[in-house]
Amino acid sequence: MSGHGQPIPMTARPGHPLSGVAHVPGDKSISHRSLILGALSVGETRVTGLLEGEDVLDTAKAMRAFGAEVEKQGDTWSVHGVGVGGFAEPSDVIDCGNSGTGVRLVMGCMATTAITATFTGDASLRGRPMGRVTEPLALFGAQSFGRQGGRLPMTVVGARDPLPVTYALPVPSAQVKSAVLLAGLNAPGETVVIEREATRDHTERMLRGFGAEVRVEDSAEGRAITLVGQPELRAQSIVVPRDPSSAAFPVCAGLVVPGSDVLVPNIGLNPTRAGLFETLREMGADLTFEGLRDEGGEPVADLRARFSGALRGVEVPPERAASMIDEYPILSVVAAFAEGPTVMRGVRELRVKESDRIDAMAVLLRAAGVEVEEGPDWMIVHGRGAEGVEGGATVSTRLDHRIAMSGLILGMAARRGLGIDDGSPIATSFPAFETLMAGLGAALVRG
């Protein structure tokens, strides 16, 4: 839904150690893909553990607009798909709200069907670049007409006789990779995407799970993913794992709030998503993976985060960026409490998320008394270590859920707490955040 209603000012105060068990919601990336691949399949896909955040609910609405039946029955979501190439033309504008993943993946999966759809979103999404998706979609024969700079609202006219495509990603983006692969579903022959840096691989894995033929080969140019077009996707039963990007918030809170001991069970540690946890361990965090096991071919563990007061700054390897791209805002909060500088390079993509996250975090941390340096694709946070973080400010969250949650966690550990002007975007990815953090003992108030 465009817009988030009334802003919800919130304040986090220090002095309360966090303890207990935090069950975070379902993975956002896998939730979007479950609905989309279910809608492109023949038969009924049943999904449990779906993230019921605004981003994913907007994708559910979009799938209904293209003709799939999507409904919730008890704890299970049911999707009756229309099959590859079976999308109907929506009768109204598709509003993807705050979700880059939603709009880019849905554009991909309609772009090789002879229908037209117009997309929009909230003020944040209308400011984000769509050319990165419409350029490869044009190679299939799709046309697009948007605002200047490739911005929403945008109309996509699907290709009548799509051609298969070979495309080398110019940016490390799983959203672009996925849009091209989803478009390739309804093109004859083989569609190939080549990525220099491995990004999250849920689309490849799930396409295989739904019965498509997907090959992955490593070559000198990078990772080549080949999809054989026009498969009949078969409906599946999906259990969505819990989201490591949401787990990052209670985990990092446990590391920076004195006296804390927090358990976050059942978190997927797919290597294309787990870069933050590796980085935190390099910083000397008391973070353990309990009951490490294999579930559905992916490593899963219960994460236990304990405050130790012994965090040190590190240099995050740029090649790790894709595996923790959504976690830099909360990492920069942990870095503020560590001893010495934390250097983050190769993070240009942060500038085109729900907000310019380098700028948003630099402004937030400086307002809290932390020194930050930044450049086009880098940021250095000068950790305060034993001196502690002052806090005390009220900062703008810029329609960005991750900035909002990162600000509140900083406030739980800073001497004078921290206020945010609007916590409403948190509902896009983590609607239970406030209740869950309060359940651990955090002092969070509205206003």
Ligand X SMILES: C=C(OP(=O)(O)O)C(=O)O
Query: Annotation-wise, does 326 bind a ligand?
Result: yes
Q: 380: buried, middle or exposed (CB in 10 Å: 19+, 13-18, 0-12)?
A: buried
Binding mask 9-38 for ligand S3P (x = CB under 6 A): --------------------x---------
| Catalytic residue (one of 27, 95, 243, 326) | 326
The interface partner of residue 173, options being ligand X, ligand S3P, none and the CB cut-off 5 to 8 Å by kind, is ligand S3P
Our answer to whether residue 326 is catalytic in this structure is: yes
Q: Taking CB under 6 A as the rule, does residue 325 contact ligand S3P?
A: yes
Size of the site for ligand S3P (CB under 6 A): 11
CA distances in angstroms from 317 to 96, 283, 349, 353, listed in the order given: 33, 13, 15, 20
Query: Annotation-wise, does 369 bind a ligand?
Result: no
Distance CA(240)–CA(52), nearest Å, equals 11
The interface partner of residue 402, options being ligand S3P, ligand X, none and the CB cut-off 5 to 8 Å by kind, is ligand X
In 3D, which of 343, 213, 216 has the Cα closest to residue 279? Answer: 343
Q: CB–CB of 337/387 below 8 Å? A: no
Distance CA(24)–CA(76), nearest Å, equals 17
The interface partner of residue 349, options being ligand X, ligand S3P, none and the CB cut-off 5 to 8 Å by kind, is ligand S3P
Query: Annotation-wise, does 151 bind a ligand?
Result: no
Q: 356: buried, middle or exposed (CB in 10 Å: 19+, 13-18, 0-12)?
A: middle
Query: Annotation-wise, does 355 bind a ligand?
Result: no
Q: Which stretch binds ligand S3P (CB under 6 A): 172-180, 249-257, 281-289, 309-317?
A: 172-180
- The 10 Å Cβ neighbour count of residue 83 is 15
Of all residues in this chain, which one has the CB nearest to ligand X in the complex? 100
Q: Minimum Å distance from CB 213 to ligand X?
A: 27
In 3D, which of 227, 98, 230, 96 has the Cα closest to residue 156? Answer: 96
Q: Which stretch binds ligand S3P (CB under 6 A): 64-72, 140-148, 170-178, 414-422?
A: 170-178
In 3D, which of 54, 57, 85, 83 has the Cα closest to residue 70? Answer: 57
Q: Which residues here bind ligand S3P, judged by CB under 6 A? A: 29, 101, 173-175, 178, 199-200, 325-326, 349
Which residues are designated catalytic? 326
Annotated binding site: 28-29, 33, 100, 128, 173, 175, 326, 353, 357, 402
